[in-house]
């Protein structure tokens, strides 16, 4: 065996061609403790040795040799994720771990997980037909988990960072044209969800923000709407949670068409409450089922797409009403910075990147104004 050592650890090449490193951790119960790291290259074991020595100096431990990726992920979900992210996000992380990461990598020892293991998992998931976006999420969760393991000194490096996530083809937003928007407004007249559709297309609120809207969030006399919460389904139950970012908490001026629709909704909800009688599920929500319960995102989207099919409008996601609102505002030369505030985006770059394809008319108008100034 070829050995290369120092006072703090020993690195040597084994007879089978692999490398190993030994670090001494002092004494326990009169016996000398040591930790051995293994790898295919000297650099790999050197990294593990460096982490082991640093953890020893800081009073931290290293991941036990038998600790598997699956066991670590369960600990990470309980000790870190549930206390640092929103409930719906924690639920989503747990689902990805349960369905994909644990079955694919769970039995691998955490300290032996290699970039090749992660790459094979990504390839397998794509081969089964999962969308690149879904596989991208799986990779992102693993990368975040291993990043925490690295911070805790359990692994020398985050191997998920060494593997590229699959590329996701950018899908260009295709909002309604002004003509289609007017046809949509006519089509929803008299529909039970008329006010929901009109507020969505005229304000650009997210679906969760709309479904979590309470009457106390509205000032119809003043023509204002405030976003304080969003409706999410967590562990099978509907809950009102805080918006994702500080920018999402905002107050908007309501167009007249939305005010009138909400006033009509208020009257209709009183009638629904009387009709349901004791079956009414009391809440302060603006948009509810016929018995006062929160609306399901799935059911709202299903009814929305069925309506589009009836009137011959192109199939869209409910979220595309938000894109339509943005494109209509841009067509009226609303500035991107103002649009960012209306939509509750956290960064102006998100607004510009999402709606760059519908900005040419506004940019042309700016060029025309520059001509009028410079050319007199």
What CATH code is carried by the domain that includes residue 315? Answer: 1.10.443.10
Q: Identify whether 115 is part of a domain.
A: yes
- Specify whether 92 is located in the same domain as 152: yes
Q: Does residue 23 contact residue 8 with C-beta atoms inside 8 Å?
A: yes
- Say if 333 falls within a structural domain: no
Residue 267: CB atoms within 10 Å: 9
**Average of per-residue pLDDT across 344-355:** 80
Of the residues 134, 162, 190, which one is the last residue of a structural domain?
162
Domain boundary among the residues 162, 193, 223 is at: 162
Both tokens assigned to 4: 């290369």
User: Is the entire prediction scored with pTM above 0.75?
Assistant: no
What's the pLDDT score for residue 358? 63
Instruction: Report whether 234 contacts 87 (CB < 8 A).
Output: yes
pLDDT surpasses 80 at 48: no
Indicate whether 45 and 79 sit together in one domain: no
- Cα 223 from Cα 261, distance rounded (Å): 12
120 lies in the same domain as 36: no
If asked whether residues 18 and 148 sit together in one domain, one would say no
3-state secondary structure of 180: helix
Q: Is the same domain home to 134 and 266?
A: no
Among 136, 162, 188, which residue terminates a domain? 162
286: nearest Cα among 369, 220, 190, 202: 220
CATH code, domain carrying 81: 1.10.150.130
Residues 235 and 139 in one domain: no
Segment 274-310, tens digit of pLDDT: 998 888 888 899 999 999 999 999 999 999 999 999 9
- The pLDDT of residue 29 is 59
Q: How many residues does the chain have?
A: 376
Stronger pLDDT, 16 or 196, i.e. the higher one: 196
Q: How far is CA 120 from the centre of its chain?
A: 24
What is the overall mean pLDDT for the chain? 86
- Domain match, 236 and 300 both: yes
In a domain, 7, yes or no: yes
Q: State whether 110 and 51 are in the same domain.
A: no
- Compute the distance between CA of residue 181 and CA of residue 194 in angstroms, rounded to an integer: 14
Span 18-36, mean pLDDT? 70
State whether 32 and 78 are in the same domain: no
Query: Does residue 184 sit in the same domain as residue 306?
Result: yes
Residue 108 lies in a domain: yes
Q: Is residue 271 part of a domain?
A: yes
User: What domain range includes position 24?
Assistant: 2-58
Q: Are residues 236 and 304 located together in one domain of the fold?
A: yes
Lowest-pLDDT range of 102-106, 165-169, 176-180, 346-350: 346-350
Neighbours of 180 (CB within 10 A): 17
Number of CB atoms found within 10 A of residue 181's CB: 19
Let me know if residue 124 belongs to a domain. Answer: yes
Same domain as 85, residue 48:
no
- pLDDT confidence band for 329 (50 / 70 / 90): confident
Instruction: Give how many domains the chain has, as a whole number.
Output: 3
């Amino acid at each position: 065996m070829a050995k290369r050592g120092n006072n703090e650890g020993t690195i040597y090449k084994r007879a089978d061609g692999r490398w190993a490193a030994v670090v001494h951790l002092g004494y326990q119960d009169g016996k000398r403790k040591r930790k051995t790291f293994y790898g295919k290259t000297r650099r790999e074991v050197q990294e593990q040795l460096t982490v082991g020595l640093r953890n020893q100096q800081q009073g931290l431990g290293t991941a036990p040799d038998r600790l598997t990726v699956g066991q670590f992920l369960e600990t990470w979900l309980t000790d870190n994720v549930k206390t640092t992210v929103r409930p719906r996000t924690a639920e989503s992380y747990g689902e990805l771990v349960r369905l994909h990461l644990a079955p694919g990598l769970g039995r691998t020892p955490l300290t032996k997980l290699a970039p090749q293991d992660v790459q094979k998992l990504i390839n397998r998931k794509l081969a089964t037909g999962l969308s690149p976006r879904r596989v991208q999420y799986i990779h992102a969760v693993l990368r975040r988990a291993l990043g925490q393991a690295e911070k805790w000194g359990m692994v020398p490096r985050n191997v998920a960072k060494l593997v590229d996530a699959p590329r996701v083809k950018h899908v260009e937003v295709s909002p309604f044209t002004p003509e289609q928007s007017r046809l949509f407004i006519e089509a929803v007249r008299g529909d039970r969800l008329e006010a929901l559709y009109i507020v969505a297309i005229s304000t650009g609120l997210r679906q969760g923000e709309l479904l979590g809207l309470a009457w106390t969030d509205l000032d119809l006399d003043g023509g204002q709407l405030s976003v304080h919460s969003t409706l999410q389904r967590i562990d099978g139950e509907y809950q009102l949670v805080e918006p994702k970012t500080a920018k999402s908490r905002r107050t908007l001026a309501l167009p007249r068409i939305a005010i009138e629709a909400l006033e009509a909704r208020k009257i209709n909800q009183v009638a629904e409450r009387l009709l349901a009688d004791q079956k009414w599920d009391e809440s302060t929500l603006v948009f509810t089922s016929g018995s006062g319960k929160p609306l399901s995102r799935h059911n709202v989207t299903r009814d929305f797409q069925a309506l589009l099919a009836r009137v011959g409008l192109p199939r869209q996601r409910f979220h595309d009403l938000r894109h339509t609102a943005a494109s209509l505002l841009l067509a009226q030369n609303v500035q991107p910075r103002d649009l960012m505030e209306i939509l509750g985006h956290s960064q102006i770059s998100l607004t510009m990147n999402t709606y760059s394809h519908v900005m040419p008319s506004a940019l042309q108008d700016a060029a025309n104004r520059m001509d009028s100034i410079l050319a007199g």
